[in-house]
Structure 1
Amino acid sequence: MPRGLIVARGGFIALVGWVMGVALQLQQPVLWALSSYRALLLAGALALAGMVLTRRWLAAMCTALLAGVLIGAGLTGLRAVHFAADALNPALQGQDIEVTGRIASLPQASAQGERFDFEVESARRGGGTVTLPPRLQLGWYGESGTGSPGLRAGERWRFTVRLRSPHGNFNPQGFDRERWLWEKGIQATGYVRNGPRDPVPERLGATWWHPLDSLRQSVSERIGERVASDPRSAGVLAALVVGDQSAIVGLGKRVVR
Structure 2
Amino acid sequence: MKYTRVCAAVAASVALFGLTACSSDDTKSSSAGSSAAKKPKGPFAGVTPDQIAAKATAATKSVTSMKIVGNGIDAGKKMAFTSQFHTNGQCLGSTQTAGEGRLDTRRTSAKKLFMRGDEAYYKSAMASGSDALKGDELDLAVKIMSNKWIKPDASDKSAGDIGDLCSMTGLVTEMQLDDVRGMRRGADTVVDGRKAITLVGKAGSQVDTYYVAADEKAPFYLKLTSVGGKDGASAMSFSEQNKPFVVAEPKGKELLDLNKMSG
Give the TM bin, normalised by the shorter chain: under 0.3
Structure with the bigger RCO (C-alpha within 8 Å, sep 6+) is 2
Rg: which structure is higher? 1
Judging by fraction of residues, say which structure has more helix. 1
Pick the structure with more strand per residue: 2
